[in-house]
Amino acid sequence: MKKILIATTALVATAGYAAADINLSGAAVAGFKYADIDTVDEKLIAHVDYTLTIAMSGETDGGLTFGADLTVYGDESSTLNGGDLVAYIEGGFGKFSAGNVGSAVDATLGLGDLGFDGLSTDNVAEMLVDYNDQGTLMYKGTFGDFAVAASYNMSVDGTDPNAAEAANEFSIAATYNMGDYDFGLGYDERGDVITVKAGANVSGFDIDALFSKGEMLAGTDVKFAGEVLGTLPADLDVTAWGLTAGYTMGATTVTAAYSNADFDGAELDIYGVGVAYDLGGGAKVKGGVASVGFDGSDRITIADLGITMSF
């Protein structure tokens, strides 16, 4: 992370004022992606994208921290793919944020992915979590080993910034850590979705399990890796779950994953394995391969290999 410290002589000399900080951080990925899809002309493609975050912060006379984070995204076409802006204030009571904050459940409960750019092994298990990942207000608080989060999707300018059916609905989540073990529980109002997570990190093994159950509305597109697989013809009960298990040996981590989403009998599932090697300094080489199947159709093999960089 590169840091720019703004502290003028006047601020330093004036009692009761703290220096303001502007931090620049970023991430980038570069590599190759493969998808064994007959309808695609190029099965092997190159991929590059980046994320740049400008984090601005300050401190009140009373010791409260306030700030704003601006994050922008781009790819190999040099095109900006959008950005997120979040403003916040925090102290001993926790942290209040406003902006494109997402949902409390998505921010708190989830699984890791495989590959350098992500093979979406986590997204199948998180189908209901991602479905409700909208929010403009959020609170987070940590109290010892217990943490809570709550979000609400409210209009910030008189219009709904997200899907209309997700407006004015809330999401809550809580986690508890017991040394090498952690547990989480969440609820999303839309679809009455309950999400449960459990994890363990013991002797180099890292295991996480996620389970969600609730309803998705008619007309919702079922997506995988950004592609629409189908559209729900009616409100459907959905059950989604997944498991990841990894083992770290020095700088190398090997992870296996399986996820399944059941749309009232129609199933989407994925399984795969990934390897990551830590080069140090914020750079890692990552790769993975996975197999995807949907509702009895032929399975598709996807894979990627590349480098991830954090600055």
pLDDT at site 202: 94
Per the listing, tokens 């207000």 go with 137
Task: Identify the H or E element spanning 211.
Answer: strand 205-216
pLDDT at site 165: 55
Average pLDDT, stretch 269-294?
A: 96
Residue 2 scores a pLDDT above 60: no
Residue 294 scores a pLDDT above 90: no
Measured between its terminal Cα atoms, the distance across the chain in Å is: 5
CB 302 within 8 A of CB 36: yes
Residue 79 scores a pLDDT above 80: no
pLDDT at site 5: 41
What pLDDT, in 10s, does the model give residues 147-175?
999 999 986 555 544 454 556 789 999 99
DSSP 8-24: -HHHHHSTT---EEEEE
Number of helices (H), then strands (E), in the chain = 4, 19
| Lowest-confidence segment of 24-33, 142-151, 233-242, 250-259 by average pLDDT | 233-242
Enumerate domains of the chain plus CATH numbers: 2-310 (2.40.160.10)
Residue 19 scores a pLDDT above 80: no
pLDDT at site 229: 72
Rg (CA), the chain: 21
Amino acid 45 reads: I
Pairing mode of beta strands 65-75, 44-59 = antiparallel
Q: Give CA torsion, residues 91, 93, 97, 102, to 10 deg.
A: 130
